[in-house]
């Protein structure tokens, strides 16, 4: 899709014109002119639809100003960048069959308006149709946006949206199509394309390197594990960001097996690794001046005859021993190795991303990620970045009094606590492998998947946290 930016729509025509409407049917830029051209019937028609400009409302009518159709999109009375992202998503989904689309949303007087709408539009058109016998891809070839693009907002939106789309593709891919070695190959292809150094550890090297958690989780799987380490090192970078993404490409629960219904979405248990890959792509494409070390431990968690058993003990990369009492609490085991490896190079900030606990979903629902931070300033850095890009996170306490729930009589730590505060005890477990570095843990178990289309989010894998990670990298680059 080509995105064209122009000061106004003079001389342009096309299939669909998207126009903003505020609360109480207050016309946004370009809407009053279109309404006047459409004539007196419009108000009565919109009355019949009960269209008043509330957030998310839409009304499609015959064309005006040289466009075949006009789509009025409600923005409500408090418009911010995320409202424009959502409006862009609605418009992108409505325009799937239109080749040439234009909008005046970029003329709304808020910072980043044109980029926000473009980002939402691009992701609103996202579809994963690889396995459909008769796919219906988007017909849109050109998006015309009016407004000012003085700081490359559109190019930025395209880069981040491409990273999100990559993450969504990887998450939505069936588990059989993304074995650990396949995902490692995709990462290698991306790194070779973008000039990023990459090291992929195979099973024998995983043993040699002491990645005991990754090895333990992989024991029941017939497809061997991989540890992927990507290093983006741009000239002039002063700070280093480490990203660690959980990459369980399918989670049966291991011998602590899940119910069949709970396995239906477990191809998405590598959403953290997918987010890291998407973020690295966007960061490198944007040329951000921050060093990035990105680590994705990749394996299946299966029930083969060699699978780890409840009560087994392994030694993680940092030398700590772990008693495994529930093999379905496996994400934290592979992250233990990833965090330990990342901490060895003493980065300025470590962020791990994982679909880690059902407890986070119980606490915060399906649209808000749980965030834990090693200290207030570190947590606020990521919270502010998430707020800026419209991804919802909520900080939960890293309550040290609960650490005793993880005490083991057999090893340095066990991998589960009791039934209470499960998201917190999981975070406390991970903290044992950070070596005291500034660190944030994002439990994205809820928002990593969507049950339906909404705004710029499509049903299935969402690519949640890609935009936040890019924003964190931007802040560190400055």
- For the stretch 118-141, pLDDT in tens is 999 999 999 999 999 999 999 999
pLDDT, averaged across the chain: 97
- Catalytic residue from among 258, 320, 387, 405: 258
Neighbour-count burial for 287-322, b at 16+ CB within 10 Å, e otherwise: ebbbbbbbbbbbbbbbeeeebbeeebbbbbbbebeb
Give residue 417's Cα distance to chain centre.
Answer: 28
pTM score over 0.85: yes
User: Which three-class secondary structure state does DSSP give residue 284?
Assistant: helix
Is 258 assigned a catalytic role? yes
CB–CB of 428/418 below 8 Å? no
CATH 3.40.630.10 residue spans of the chain? 158-477
pLDDT tens digits along 382-417: 999 999 999 999 999 999 999 999 999 999 999 999
What is the model's pLDDT at position 224?
A: 98
User: By C-alpha distance, which of 245, 252, 184 is closest to 217?
Assistant: 252
Residue 150 has pLDDT above 90, yes or no: no
CATH 3.40.220.10 residue spans of the chain? 2-150
Cα–Cα distance between 299 and 146 in angstroms, integer? 47
Contacts with 178 (C-beta within 8 Å, 6 or more apart), sequence order: 170, 186, 249, 267, 270
User: Which three-class secondary structure state does DSSP give residue 138?
Assistant: coil
Residue-level length of the chain: 478
Cα–Cα distance between 1 and 4 in angstroms, integer? 10
Span 253-271, average pLDDT:
98
For domain 2-150, give its CATH number from 3.30.450.20, 3.40.50.2300, 3.40.220.10, 3.40.1710.10. Answer: 3.40.220.10
- Catalytic residue from among 332, 414, 437, 449: 332
Which CATH number does 158-477 carry?
3.40.630.10
What is the model's pLDDT at position 63?
A: 87
Phi and psi based region of residue 315 (left: phi greater than 0; alpha: psi -120 to 50; beta: remaining): beta
pLDDT tens digits along 95-104: 999 999 999 9
pLDDT tens digits along 406-447: 999 999 999 999 999 999 999 999 999 999 999 999 999 999
pLDDT class for 65, splitting at 50, 70, 90?
confident
Neighbour-count burial for 439-449, b at 16+ CB within 10 Å, e otherwise: bbbbbbbbbbb
CB–CB of 298/247 below 8 Å? yes
pLDDT tens digits along 3-59: 999 999 999 999 999 999 999 999 999 999 999 999 999 999 999 999 999 999 999
User: By C-alpha distance, which of 126, 309, 283 is closest to 217?
Assistant: 309
Is 388 assigned a catalytic role? no
pLDDT class for 64, splitting at 50, 70, 90?
confident
CB–CB of 266/175 below 8 Å? yes
E strand or H helix at 183:
helix 180-194
Contacts with 243 (C-beta within 8 Å, 6 or more apart), sequence order: 276, 279, 280, 292, 293, 294, 295, 350, 351, 352, 353, 469
Cα–Cα distance between 105 and 117 in angstroms, integer? 7
């Amino acid at each position: 899709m080509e995105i064209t930016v122009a000061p106004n729509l003079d001389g342009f025509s096309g299939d669909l014109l998207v126009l903003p409407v505020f609360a109480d049917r207050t016309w946004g830029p370009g809407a009053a002119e279109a309404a006047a051209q459409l004539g007196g019937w419009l108000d009565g028609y919109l009355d019949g639809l009960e269209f008043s400009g509330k957030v998310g409302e839409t009304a499609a009518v015959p064309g005006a100003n040289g466009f075949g159709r006009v789509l009025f999109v409600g923005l409500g009375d408090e418009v911010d960048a995320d409202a424009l992202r959502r409006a862009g998503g609605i418009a992108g989904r409505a325009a799937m069959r239109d080749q040439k689309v234009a909008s005046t949303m970029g003329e709304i007087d808020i910072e980043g308006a044109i980029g926000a709408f473009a980002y939402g539009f691009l992701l609103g058109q996202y579809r994963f149709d690889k396995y459909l016998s008769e796919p219906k891809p988007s017909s849109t070839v050109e998006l015309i946006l009016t407004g000012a693009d003085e700081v490359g907002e559109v190019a930025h939106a395209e880069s981040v949206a491409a990273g999100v789309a990559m993450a969504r593709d990887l998450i939505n891919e069936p588990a059989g199509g993304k074995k650990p070695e396949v995902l490692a190959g995709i990462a290698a292809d991306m790194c070779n394309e973008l000039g990023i150094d990459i090291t992929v550890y195979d099973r024998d090297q995983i043993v040699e390197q002491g990645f005991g958690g990754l090895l333990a989780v992989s024991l029941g799987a017939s497809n061997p594990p991989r540890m992927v380490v990507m290093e983006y090192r741009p000239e002039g970078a002063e700070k280093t960001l480490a990203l660690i993404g959980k990459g369980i490409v399918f989670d049966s629960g291991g011998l602590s097996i899940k119910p069949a219904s709970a396995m239906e979405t477990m191809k998405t248990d590598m959403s953290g690794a997918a987010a890291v890959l998407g973020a690295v792509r966007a960061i490198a494409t944007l040329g951000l001046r921050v060093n990035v070390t990105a680590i994705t431990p990749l394996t299946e968690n299966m029930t083969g005859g060699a699978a780890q058993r409840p009560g087994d003990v392994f030694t993680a990369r940092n030398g700590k021993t772990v008693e495994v009492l529930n093999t379905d609490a496996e994400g934290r085991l592979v992250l233990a190795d990833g965090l330990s490896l990342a901490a060895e190079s003493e980065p300025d900030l470590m962020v791990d991303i994982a679909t880690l606990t059902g407890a986070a979903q119980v606490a915060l629902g399906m649209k808000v990620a749980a965030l834990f931070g090693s200290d207030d300033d570190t947590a606020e850095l990521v919270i502010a970045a998430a707020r800026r890009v419209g991804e919802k996170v909520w900080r939960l306490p890293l309550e040290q009094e609960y650490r005793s729930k993880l005490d083991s009589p057999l090893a340095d730590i066990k991998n589960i606590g009791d039934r209470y505060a499960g998201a917190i005890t999981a975070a406390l477990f991970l903290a044992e492998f950070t070596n005291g570095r500034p660190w944030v843990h994002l439990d994205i178990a809820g928002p990593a998947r969507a049950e339906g289309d909404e705004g710029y989010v499509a049903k299935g894998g969402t690519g949640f946290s890609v935009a936040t990670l890019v924003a964190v990298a931007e802040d560190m680059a400055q």
